[in-house]
Structure formats: C-alpha cells, structure tokens
Structure 1
C-alpha cells in the first residue's frame, strides 16, 4: 500500500523512465531491422513517457520534498518489473505496426491498472487524487492506441516468415 506522496511519485518516476527506455530499445531494434514505421511509433511512445516522467519529478520537487531513494526491492510492482516497461519477449524484428500497437497497449493498460490499484488501496487522499489523475492519463493513451489499432488490423498468417532470417551474433 502506498500512503505517501513521495513513495507514489518515486514509483511513477521509475515506471515512466522504464517505459521510455523500453520504447527506445524497441525503436532501436526496429531501426536496425529497417522497420521505420514501427520505429517512429516507439519513439513517440517514449516521448509520452518522458512527459509523464517530467510531470512526476516536478510534482515531487514542488510538493513532496523530492523523491525518496528506494532500493529496487522496495518497489511495489504487481510483477517483476514496472508495469509500463513492456514485454520485450513479445517483440519480433518483423513485427508490424499492429504488433507494436499491441505491445504499447499492454504497457499502457498495465500502467493504468497499476495506478488504479494504488488509487483504490491508498489511505492518503493526495496519493489517491494523483493516482486517479495518472490512471486517467494512461487510460487516454490506451484509448488512443485502441483507435490506432482500428487502422492497423492484424496481419495475415505467415507475417513472420523470413526466408533469410538474421543470424545471431556470437
């Protein structure tokens, strides 16, 4: 349970930083594999995460006396990683915009659900208000991605077949 603004914002900062880094990693991979459309999508999502990161950091500095120095094991994530970091094992070098959007949707809904759980479980009214605000922002991103998914349907079967797949580097 998160009952201090400082602890909540520390989680928000790490969550948004992890998301931005993961989106950058995916964008770099897509750039390497000459998939510019998906690369641009991930760069845009990284930018959104950095905006949230900046908002949370500024709020902590102005209203909460800065951020606490939490150890990695002190974070209260629902899984092993922050919920918006995205699932790299679900990526593929030939993925389409549809697949990229599905990855982004999973990350955004994970963040939305995390913030929503904090809002429902905290005893601190200020934390609740912030968590509800962050939940709404993540929900807007998820809705936007769902709209994008309507424009980019799932590819036909065999989308990932490559007659000359890349060889792993030793």
Structure 2
C-alpha cells in the first residue's frame, strides 16, 4: 500500500470495526456479570474510536471514506478486526479475551506487513506507529489473560 489516503481509509475502517467488536465484548461481559472486564473492553473500544478519529484527522476526512468492499486490501478478504465473527451469547471471560487477542494480533500483523512492504515513507512511518499501538494492545491483553488464568486456576 503506497498511498497515505488509501492507508488511512483502511485504518479508519479497521478501528471502526475494532470499536464495535470491543463494545460487543463489553456488552457480553456485562451480561455475564463481570463489570471489571466489561470496563476494560469499554476502554479498548474508546481507544479504537480515538485511533479512528486520529486517522480521520490525519487524512483530512470529515466523514468516513467510502470504499467498495472489493476496494479494500484485507488479508483473507476481511478486516483483521472483522474476522472473528459475532460474539457468542454464552461466551466466557477467557473466550472473550481470546477473541480480542486474535483481533489485536491480526491488526498488528496487518499494519506491520504494510510498514515492511510499502515504498512510501509516510505510509511506512504511520503503519509502524499503528503497528506499535496494536502491539501495546496485545501486551495489555496478555497481562489480562495471565491474571484471569491465575484466578481461574485458583478457583
């Protein structure tokens, strides 16, 4: 991907999808009665909205850019954050964390691949920045998963 506007259009869509997915996970955790994890997922949804807004501002977009489905260049044909499908109504906390982790890892890999392959220095810099942010999210989820696994094993 060698055009900054095209890259940002993808980033905006990815973050929009991420925000929606985290909101779904927060809702599921609320229904499960786990307010702490629901709050964490709400916070992650908020961060995704901030990243989306940042990408829109950087691209000078006032509205979401409109690309047809076949104009997106996604791995495996769908946004890294859309690939995990709907949240099952009976999902447990560890399952929700695993879904979130899968999305964050795919998003990190997506941005990193763009950074590694682009010839455009502006796209490279921004994709690297976004990949680094996604890596931080993976680290946050690692900590949560480790703590939840310890709690689950102690029960």
TM over 0.5: yes
The equivalent position to 1:93 in structure 2, one of 90, 93, 110, is: 90
Give the drift of 1:69.
3.1
The residue aligned with 2:55 is 56
Contact 2:28 2:91 in 1 (8 A): no
Query: Gaps (5+ residues) in structure 2?
Result: none
Higher-helix-fraction structure: 2
Match of 2:134 in 1: 138
8 Å contact kept, 1:9–1:67: no
Q: Distance in 2 between matches of 1:66 and 1:25?
A: 23
Q: 1:78 aligns with which of 75, 96, 104?
A: 75
TM-score of the superposed pair, with normalisation by structure 2? 0.85
Could you tell me how far apart the structure 1 residues matched to 2:142 and 2:32 are? 25
1:20 aligns with 2:16: no
CA distance in 1, matches of 2:124, 2:95: 33
Unpaired stretches in structure 1, ≥5 consecutive residues: 157-170
Structure 2: distance between partners of 1:12 and 1:121 = 16
RMSD: 2.4
Partner of 1:40: 39
State whether structure 2 residue 107 is matched by structure 1 residue 108: no
Alignment match, 1:165: none
Moved more, 86-95 or 14-23: 86-95
Change (3 A) 1:17 1:89: closer
TM-score normalised by length of structure 1: 0.78
Asked whether the equivalents of residues 24 and 87 of structure 2 are also in contact (C-alpha less than 8 Å), the reply is no
The verdict on how the C-alpha distance between 1:94 and 1:110 changes in structure 2, with shifts beyond 3 A counting, is closer
TM-aligned CA deviation for residue 43 of structure 1:
1.3
